[in-house]
Structure 1
Amino acid sequence: MSRLNDQNASAATDMVAALETLKGCPADAGHFLIKSGFSPDQAAADFVESYAGVPATPRGGTEPAVLYQQRNQPDLLFGLYGCERRIRGWLPALAGCRMTKTAPSLAPVSPIHVKSDHQRWDQIDLGGLPFPQITTRDAGPYITMGFVMAGEAGQNLALSAHRMLVLGPDLLGISMLTSRHLRHMAQRAGEQGESLPISINIGVPPAVAIASATGTAHLPSRLDKLSLAGALAKAPIAISQGPDDGAFYLSRSAIVLHGELLADTTTEAIAPAPPGVTMPEFLGYDGHAGAPLQLIKLNSISQRPNAMMQAVVGPGREQSAILGLGGALSLALGLDEGLLAENAFDLRFSYAGGGMLLLFVALKDGHTTPLEPLARQMIDICPFVKTVVFVDQDVDLSSEEDMLWAMTTRANLAQDCHPVQGFAPMRMDPSQGDAWAKQKGYTPTRCYVDATVPPSCRSAASRSFV
């Protein structure tokens, strides 16, 4: 076992190293601010009011990384991932590369076991950490950038981000979708009458944040999420054994909560919060308190020296960038390699859809696959996708204006917007709800937009300056 060496840390494998790259960085690539005099709740409110972008607010542009200094607690960091270009620049495998070209060639880089520099707290008290309550409607303070890890490798590894409600000094409630691998592992443990040992990692390496946003079910057999993170970083991710032979954790996480995922549950709608409401979701609307939260019991807390607490406000450019890069990576890894190579020039999820609902696809010149089955396969892999917009490869997917230009001048939406039937509506999107359908008089469905130039019209529709 090697010893953790900060001199070998890169922006891809260490959040602190990534933050250092923003100091003195040009404003158009994102920047770094330090503010003081804000409580955790006030810091969240200030970030929303001053910096958060679409879909949290109508504000365009990148989000800066803002460090809110705290008294007697770790400082609170918002906005680190508020720029897709910034994140790509930290990840050697993605910097300056098209996702469709990079993903199929990613080779796994296994994690390394190291002796961590984490310091164990004398007492277990979540009150010692600056968890913000994002809105007054929330049930309480939430962990919003907690990456839960169970197992170590392969099918025995779960690594995913979840929102977790702070219920007491050593107790959390976690929200998990039914499709999550972590939930399946917890169910198997519960069936054997056992709890599931886990670590909750806060302030993780950027490569881990993106890899964790991919879908486990569609990863090729050569990759799990830790070896995928290593592939993105082109360097191994450091992991360590938890205290008292507990669950493994990410050695370069700023703060780690060590504990067990129990079979017991609790409600998320806790008075005086409005019934049925949780903290804002990734699309910019309040969440729904539906399924019970599963309980997590902590047995220790550890942190690196001078640790920072990372958080997000729920929706916004930061959350959208993480989800969008993870989703595009999932598609590029999950689609049939021949289908991908023959048809897709590049893939990108728009901030406007929270990084999940609105997918841009640039098609290769001379592609032959019909668009409806291609869109359907993409929705099968990324089931939150609502709209797929197909364009030609001369359109810049990273420019929302260029996408609108293509949709305006290379499509007649009344004819070129086509339904993709057979997918269940998503309740997080208001326009897919029952009340919306009743008022509008139609059944919500997914769709794709053909904003490509017909082959016979290409000479008349070529760009003047490209």
Structure 2
Amino acid sequence: MNKVRDLRSALELLENMPGQLIETDVEVDPMAELSGVYRHVGAGGTVQRPTKEGPAMIFNNVKGHKDARVLIGLLASRKRVAALLGTEPEDLGKLLYRSVDNPIPPVLTDKTPLCQEVVHRATDGDFDLYKLVPAPTNTPDDAGPYITLGMCYASHPDTGCSDVTIHRLCIQSKDELSIFFTPGARHIGAMAERAEQLGQKLPISISIGVDPAIEIGSCFEPPTTPMGYDELAVAGALRGEAVELCNCLTVNEKAIANAEYVIEGEVIPNVRVQEDQNSNTGYAMPEFPGYTGPASDQCWMIKVTAVTHRKNPIMQTCIGPSEEHVSMAGIPTEASIYGMVEKAMPGRLQNVYCSSAGGGKYMAVLQFKKSVASDEGRQRQAALLAFSAFSELKNIFIVDEDVDCFDMNDVLWAMNTRFQGDVDVITIPGVRCHPLDPSNDPSFSPSIRDHGIACKTIFDCSVPFEQKERFKRARFMDVDPEHWLKDIK
């Protein structure tokens, strides 16, 4: 098996896995059409039906961009993510948990970086982001072309500590991007705020098309990875070797050396951008809950100073509500929850799944094992720990060890046969949650005092310990079916 170190080696791995990667040479318009096609091929997640989980897809003929290809859906399958990280789908959360605790920090390469094979400086007369970066516009309502998988890398003005995070980035002009910082949720937002207080610009690099381990690792959040923890070290741990960085050419920052594209620039202090200033639709882009988010009038502005890329670059993108978001946000969340509960009560939490229905953020299924009578009640304590580990969680389902937490039909079976609404629903009203959930608003319920506040809920679908004998599932003979299936074509 080939070693995955960048996007291209990841694609080579998928080429040897039947049904996991397809290509097309038919011309596609990046304006809404490309995402419209992939919705039917493999988007999945909370995308409007009909959609499904399917292969990753490369568009080799993108209208207006003769020398570039666009890849979509690389991580839109838990099976693919597991293969790319060298593990099994059910073990992904545990693998990431171990990686956070054993980080390998990035290093600065002394080689000529692949990401700088071709250089375009903003001072060049023909410099134009719209032409240089084949970023799709996911729907006709979007504010513009979005860079959805840009690994934003910046350093704190005071401490020099660096961090990598994914933000929504909209091309606003030939040398300007808007960047949206969720208030209080991301480290680079705090860095930009501090730079603004100091009256400084914040140098930033945006690496696109990188090792999938970097994309997954970058989605960890506090308290698992607090300020000062560079999530590139998670990718290093996953690969067993440090991520290589290179110095940017036009700003004082580093970028991922083997990225397909790097955008260099500076976050400008005291400037806020109306996100849909070019489209005037009132919308930003499709977000992970399945709705098109409203355009913000509080986006920060990045003045772009250069675009560098590999020869024949591959633009990587995703659809906001797709299964790809579930993988990137959900698996680190699973790791965070598992780690916190394991440290508090070792051996009881068997696994965690942040399901597609919650976009990887809103819902978690906890598989909990009660071994002794005193474990009764600890399953609910585990749910409370999960809420504290990941503030954006809204609903938690607790199931026993004989229920497959990754199979929502099995989870709902447990809910239907091991759950009573009057005793097994635990509500925690008035808690800050996530602003992109449209039901988290005073207009939805008078109990909600401010937008972004929610009632967090635990659905305890586990069997009371003293009644476990009554709830044994029907037992079947354990056989290997291959003997009967080997001749079937």
TM-score (ref. length: structure 2): 0.85
Partner of 1:137: 141
Partner of 1:226: 232
Match for 2:11 among 8, 19, 40?
A: 19
8 Å CA contact 1:143, 1:165 repeated in 2: yes
Which piece of structure 1 moves more, 303-312 or 218-227? 218-227
8 Å CA contact 2:7, 2:210 repeated in 1: yes
Partner of 2:358: 353
SS at match of 2:8: helix
Alpha-carbon distance between aligned partners in 1 of 2:87 and 2:201, rounded to the nearest angstrom: 37
How far does residue 372 in structure 1 lie from its aligned partner after superposition? 4.1
How far does residue 230 in structure 1 lie from its aligned partner after superposition? 0.9
Partner of 2:317: 311
8 Å CA contact 1:418, 1:447 repeated in 2: yes
Q: 1:143 to 1:102 in 2, by over 3 A?
A: closer
Q: 1:221 to 1:435 in 2, by over 3 A?
A: closer
Mapped pair 1:430 → 2:438: yes
Alpha-carbon distance between aligned partners in 1 of 2:426 and 2:244, rounded to the nearest angstrom: 46
8 Å CA contact 1:147, 1:200 repeated in 2: yes
Mapped pair 1:67 → 2:58: yes
How far does residue 94 in structure 1 lie from its aligned partner after superposition? 6.7
SS at match of 2:10: helix
8 Å CA contact 1:151, 1:157 repeated in 2: yes
Partner of 1:5: none
8 Å CA contact 2:430, 2:447 repeated in 1: no
Match for 2:274 among 254, 263, 267?
A: 267
Give the percent of matched residue pairs that are identical in Structure 1 and Structure 2. Answer: 26
How far does residue 285 in structure 1 lie from its aligned partner after superposition? 0.4
SS at match of 2:306: strand
How far does residue 350 in structure 1 lie from its aligned partner after superposition? 0.2
Partner of 1:419: 427
Alpha-carbon distance between aligned partners in 2 of 1:319 and 1:100, rounded to the nearest angstrom: 19
Mapped pair 1:243 → 2:246: no
Alpha-carbon distance between aligned partners in 2 of 1:230 and 1:362, rounded to the nearest angstrom: 29
Mapped pair 1:449 → 2:459: yes
- The one-letter code sitting in structure 1 at the alignment partner of 2:182 is L
Mapped pair 1:203 → 2:209: yes
8 Å CA contact 1:100, 1:340 repeated in 2: no
8 Å CA contact 2:41, 2:52 repeated in 1: no
How far does residue 354 in structure 1 lie from its aligned partner after superposition? 0.6
Alpha-carbon distance between aligned partners in 2 of 1:292 and 1:222, rounded to the nearest angstrom: 25
- The one-letter code sitting in structure 2 at the alignment partner of 1:451 is C
How far does residue 24 in structure 1 lie from its aligned partner after superposition? 4.2
Alpha-carbon distance between aligned partners in 2 of 1:102 and 1:311, rounded to the nearest angstrom: 23
8 Å CA contact 1:109, 1:231 repeated in 2: yes
- The one-letter code sitting in structure 2 at the alignment partner of 1:270 is Q
8 Å CA contact 2:431, 2:454 repeated in 1: no
How far does residue 10 in structure 1 lie from its aligned partner after superposition? 2.8
Mapped pair 1:408 → 2:400: no
How far does residue 205 in structure 1 lie from its aligned partner after superposition? 1.2
Q: Deviations over 1:91-144 (max 9, x none)?
A: 247766363476247411122322212224244421222111111211211111
Partner of 1:3: none
Alpha-carbon distance between aligned partners in 2 of 1:302 and 1:206, rounded to the nearest angstrom: 20
8 Å CA contact 2:265, 2:303 repeated in 1: yes
8 Å CA contact 2:41, 2:54 repeated in 1: no
SS at match of 1:53: coil
TM-score (ref. length: structure 1): 0.89
Alpha-carbon distance between aligned partners in 2 of 1:393 and 1:157, rounded to the nearest angstrom: 40
Alpha-carbon distance between aligned partners in 1 of 2:148 and 2:289, rounded to the nearest angstrom: 15
SS at match of 2:470: coil
Which piece of structure 1 moves more, 54-63 or 450-459? 54-63
8 Å CA contact 2:53, 2:77 repeated in 1: yes
Partner of 2:484: none
Q: Deviations over 1:395-451 (max 9, x none)?
A: 2222222222222222123432220234135332223222222599xx951101111
Q: Deviations over 1:14-70 (max 9, x none)?
A: 12111112214233xx33333421021221221124432130123565231111113
8 Å CA contact 1:63, 1:317 repeated in 2: no
- The one-letter code sitting in structure 2 at the alignment partner of 1:203 is G
8 Å CA contact 1:145, 1:161 repeated in 2: yes
8 Å CA contact 2:342, 2:348 repeated in 1: no
SS at match of 2:335: helix
Partner of 2:481: none
Alpha-carbon distance between aligned partners in 2 of 1:303 and 1:77, rounded to the nearest angstrom: 15
- The one-letter code sitting in structure 1 at the alignment partner of 2:23 is L
Alpha-carbon distance between aligned partners in 1 of 2:432 and 2:328, rounded to the nearest angstrom: 24
Match for 1:126 among 126, 129, 141?
A: 129
Alpha-carbon distance between aligned partners in 1 of 2:377 and 2:388, rounded to the nearest angstrom: 17
Alignment of 1:86-97 (within 5 A): 86-92=80-86, 97=91
How far does residue 219 in structure 1 lie from its aligned partner after superposition? 2.2
8 Å CA contact 1:93, 1:231 repeated in 2: no
SS at match of 1:274: coil
SS at match of 2:91: coil
Alpha-carbon distance between aligned partners in 2 of 1:18 and 1:343, rounded to the nearest angstrom: 35
CA RMSD of aligned residues (A): 2.7
Match for 2:44 among 35, 53, 60?
A: 53
How far does residue 235 in structure 1 lie from its aligned partner after superposition? 2.4
Alpha-carbon distance between aligned partners in 2 of 1:174 and 1:221, rounded to the nearest angstrom: 20
Q: 1:251 to 1:444 in 2, by over 3 A?
A: closer
8 Å CA contact 2:92, 2:331 repeated in 1: no
8 Å CA contact 1:68, 1:77 repeated in 2: yes
Q: 1:94 to 1:177 in 2, by over 3 A?
A: farther
Alignment of 1:85-124 (within 5 A): 85-92=79-86, 97=91, 99-100=93-94, 103-104=97-98, 106-114=101-109, 115=111, 116-117=113-114, 118-122=116-120, 123=124, 124=127
- The one-letter code sitting in structure 2 at the alignment partner of 1:138 is D
- The one-letter code sitting in structure 1 at the alignment partner of 2:458 is Y
SS at match of 1:458: helix
8 Å CA contact 1:93, 1:102 repeated in 2: no
How far does residue 303 in structure 1 lie from its aligned partner after superposition? 0.7
SS at match of 2:182: coil
Partner of 2:331: 325
8 Å CA contact 2:251, 2:265 repeated in 1: no
Partner of 1:168: 173
8 Å CA contact 1:108, 1:231 repeated in 2: yes
Partner of 2:35: 44
Partner of 1:302: 308
